[in-house]
Structure 1
Amino acid sequence: MRVKVLGIGMGPQHVTPEVAGELRSCDYVVAARKRVDDRLLEVRRAVCEQYGVPLVEFDDPQRDRDTVPGNGPAHYADAVRDWHEARVRSYESVLRERGGTAGLLVWGDPSLYDSAIRVVERLAARNDLDWDVVPGISAPQVLAARHRVVLHEVGRPVHLTTARRLREDIAAGQTNLVVMLGGALALDGLEDWSIWWGANLGTDSEELVAGRVGDRLGELAAARARARAAAGWVMDIYLLRGPG
């Protein structure tokens, strides 16, 4: 058995020549179906159809999203670990049944906030499995290009984080952050910061907003709602920079 972990950006328009070549060499692509009307799965299907590769689906195991008081990083880490293990078993079932070379299509780039590499590492640890990773176009790259900005100031770092950790990171002194995996935008107290925000980048439902946070809150909420209404889902990311 062989697995190729392939970064596809946000769909067919972002598939690089290297990824296209590797995809054509796959016998099939295996993907998790999150619900009956999974529009993101349909994007994967479009990629597979473009390169003539069959798509094999399985129902994605549910992650424990319990948010009772007291749940913190430890609970989250345990929930993700259990979810990954359930995914490993699902992938394992497909791979053992079909054999050959399977592709895993990863949004953006496999190195950033995605479980595919960890899942395949577990698969390889208990199966006779070869695997490779091919990079894709990442969301921070597209965000910077759309807004025509550099993610960091001259001689300064950029901190890559998630919305879940944003307040903790700001409290620790971070003032130039790329924030991924956002839920509802929670920017209270950051009105004087600058934001470069994007949703569903590289798709027909793309939305962009930039400016002083306090001046853009209403515009951000409206743009996020438009993106969800147009696509049925929202993947947003933003660069957040402190004043001064």
Structure 2
Amino acid sequence: MIELSLIGMGMGNPDHITRQGVAALNAADLILVPRKGADKADLADVRSQLCKELLTNPATRMVPFDMPVRDSADPDYQGGVNRWHDAIALLWLAAIKTHLPQGGRLALLVWGDPSLYDSTLRIAARLGQQLPLRVSVVPGITALQALTAAHAMALNEINAPVVITTGRHLRDHGWPPQASTVAVMLDGQCSFQHMSPEGITIWWGAYLGMPQQICISGPLAEVSGQILAQREAARAAHGWIMDTYLLRKSSVSIN
């Protein structure tokens, strides 16, 4: 039996991991640390540094593995993502057979929270088809919590709906009907730049809760260019960027 703990690590700040998460890390026999290539080495370094700061159990081992690269040009988006998840599950399985052949406790740190726009649970479900598996989730600080905290704002307006969506969906389908506020996740293409900015305010943040945190807010028409420039510069400087944003459209009727 493999007992798999998926631990929300917030935005990478050790203070974003709950006491329950710290306990789950220290209870693990093995922690898998994904690597995404030399240009994103900082991502693995953040996980490794978190473990070094929070681990007190000398028996817990950290083992890196190289993440497969998803073909972003694949016209079959859904199928491409599923094939990518299949490949990741096989790497997990290989690591388990090598390092936990008799079973044990496995942990993975998940950016933000495993339950919100993350596929780790879907990958774990594939693993469960190959071996006896029990999965537990330790929630962490989500990107949306970190974003609203950084801007000292509430997620919603009074009695108004919020839609959480992806950049791809916003780009392909436009503003969600009846939404007063739109929270956008997984948007590497900055889809807000393809919208008519009239009446829209944006609250954008990157590296939330980290020393390199960047926050920009204001009318979309006025700050869109600034966000694009700062995002490009930060990505070049660090080799990676994780960002998210809220859009609020004052002219939306919710009646």
Aligned counterparts, 1:94-133, within 5 A: 94-99=95-100, 100-133=104-137
Whole-Å separation in 1 of the counterparts to 2:71 and 2:190: 22
Residue 42 of structure 1, CA deviation? 0.4
Match of 2:151 in 1: 147
- Show CA shifts across 1:169-192 (max 9, x none): 516454420001112323241243
- In structure 1, the gaps of 5 or more residues are none
- CA distances 1:137-176 after superposition (whole Å, capped 9, x unpaired): 0000011111111111111111001111113151645442
| Distance in 1 between residues matched to 2:35 and 2:91, nearest whole Å | 11
Q: Which moved more, 1:117-126 or 1:170-179?
A: 170-179
Aligned to 2:167: 163
In structure 2, the partner of 1:39 is 42
| Residue 205 (structure 1) shift | 1.5
Structure 1 residue 97: Cα displacement: 1.8
**Of 118-127 and 219-228, the range deviating more from structure 2:** 219-228
CA contact (8 A) 1:201 1:207 kept: yes
SS in 1 for 2:89: helix
2:184 aligns with one of 179, 191, 196: 179
Counterpart-to-counterpart distance in 2, 1:95 and 1:140: 33
Give, in angstroms, the shift of residue 230 of structure 1: 4.0
Which residue number in structure 1 is paired with residue 225 of structure 2?
A: 218
Contact 2:161 2:179 in 1 (8 A): no
Q: Counterpart of 1:94 in structure 2: which amino acid?
A: A
CA RMSD between the two structures: 1.6
Q: Distance in 2 between matches of 1:135 and 1:22?
A: 11
Identity of aligned residues (%): 38
Q: Which runs of 5+ in 2 are unaligned?
A: none
- The answer on whether the counterparts of 1:200 and 1:206 sit within 8 Å (CA) in structure 2 is yes
Q: Which amino acid aligns with 2:80?
A: A
What letter corresponds to residue 193 of structure 1 in structure 2? I
Q: Deviations 1:78-102 (Å, cap 9, x if unpaired)?
A: 0010000011110001112222211
Q: Given residue 3 of structure 2, which amino acid in structure 1 is its aligned partner?
A: R
Are 2:28 and 1:21 equivalent residues in the alignment?
A: no
2:245 equivalent to 1:243: no
Using the alignment, how far apart are the partners of 2:106 and 2:214 within structure 1?
33
Tell me which of 59, 62, 83 is aligned to 2:69: 62
The amino acid that maps onto 2:48 is R
Q: Deviations over 1:52-78 (max 9, x none)?
A: 3432111111212115xxx3xxx1110
Q: TM-score normalised to the size of structure 2?
A: 0.88
Matched, 1:8 2:4: no
Whole-Å Cα distance in 1 between the matches of residues 210 and 54 of structure 2? Answer: 19
Distance in 2, Cα, partners of 1:214 & 1:65: 29
Residue type at the aligned position of 2:131: N
Distance 1:207 1:191, change over 3 A: farther
Structure 1, 84-93 or 177-186: larger mean CA deviation: 177-186
Once the two structures are overlaid, the 10-residue window that deviates more, 96-105 or 162-171, is 162-171
Instruction: Figure out how many residues of one structure are paired with residues of the other and give that number.
Output: 238
